[in-house]
Chain A
């Protein structure tokens, strides 16, 4: 069964910007799918449509064989944003427990789960700290623990490591893979980084901008589990090159000028 089914999804914002046009995408259970593309390709919008945080103008999103709205109400997914979005007045433990409180877990069950989560993201000893006492990387680990705390079948991540330095980012990439393999959940991951997308994913979805479309699906056949050695594997570079070329063909990172030239030429 598919974890996520997107069929015929378009999104037109007020003012006429077409963020997404006619997107079809199936994501199987247990997959780790990255959405990559230039700014304005609608990858974050697509993630929010899956999470029912934005409504599509046309088409539909299905999560766990349910309409996206029902899946949101059933707490079927956890989400992590670029900013850790922690609540400053709550301790680390109470930030992690927030979705559990909202789902009506009792106190004992909550604190047991929080303990497990602290171990998972290696923040044991920091449970009574407040977010401002943590570094950016630790804050993002709290945010990941919170998203995983209620054991959602689906994890949505919107450039979760985008604001971190390269070292922290690589370490958290490794931790995320470990968590993903241990939990068996499905991950949809938005990123700007080709290396990150290739290293993490089982499949990379390359998107193009204006309007947002899927330009290529690239299966990543690197061996699991992925380690530091994976990043030096020749196959890693081949796949990275394939993603880069797909990005450029679809109007990649430095394409706005070329795209403008084309459309003017056509007009």
Chain B
């Protein structure tokens, strides 16, 4: 902050309208859309031209027609799985935030728990999926939600603790000079400081929730669910339908992620657009 010229050229504040919240003008998307169309065209051409076996890779048009034929069933399966992912996300995120607040408040508890949380963050929790199927009825959504919740919990917990603790000491000292109590400091300083960390972890958790729900469905689940259908269709040689289900999973996953990202933009409009958060 030394010797800055004054006044700095002032940039426009980030975003009012939805279009600006999403971030880019339509024109900026053109190159990406060209790549998408070209990629699908290449895929179609290669599959047709090289006569690739359909169990290896069906052509996009074949997947599209499977998609159209099964549309209502596919969306129904997708919604079933999305509910599991959302439920697990809500559960895991809530526990993650609550425990993070407790741990950030009481240092001793933090030094007792944090090493395990960080270690647990590195283990493949998805390996527990068959076990939760044994704990809960595998046909219910609960068993899948539990896996998704555990997957979501750790990144949220670890990041929020880090966020709550990364408050600048001078910002606390200034609040103390105004005779502000712990709760006020928490609300006005710690929470806003932790928000970028929270949203970074929420984006990670949104992806993990979908992975957790679908993969644990592979280990047995209701045939209303996406994962169970992907597994069954693949084993019944209905590859086009399996691929259509994968497409649904992708669309829902991306939609979930974008919803969280949009929420982040709304919650942190004060941030400079160029600034990227790190986990």
Contact = CB atoms under 8 A, between A and B. Distances in A.
A132 B272 contact: yes
B22 interface: no
Contacts of B173: 53, 81, 85
16 contacts: A78-B177, A85-B168, A85-B171, A88-B270, A98-B188, A130-B270, A132-B272, A133-B11, A134-B8, A135-B6, A135-B8, A136-B2, A138-B7, A139-B1, A163-B2, A164-B2
Contacts of B5: 135
A168 interface: yes
Contacts of B7: 134-135, 138
Contacts of B13: 128-130
A51 B173 CA distance: 10
B192 A89 contact: yes
A73 B173 CA distance: 14
Interface size for chain B: under 10, 10 to 19, 20 to 34, or 35 or more residues? 20 to 34
Interface size class of A (residues with CB under 8 A): 35 or more
B178 interface: yes
Given A81-B170, A87-B188, 16 more contacts: A72-B179, A79-B174, A79-B177, A85-B170, A88-B192, A88-B271, A89-B268, A89-B270, A129-B13, A130-B272, A133-B8, A135-B4, A135-B6, A135-B8, A136-B6, A165-B3
Interface string A110-152: 0000000000000000001110111111110000000000000
A165 B5 CA distance: 9
A136 B10 contact: no
Interface string B6-42: 1110110100000000000000000000000000000
B177 A137 contact: no
A49 to B, nearest CB: 13
A133 B188 CA distance: 21
B259 interface: no
Contacts of B3: 136, 164-165
A89 B189 CA distance: 9
Nearest to A143: B174
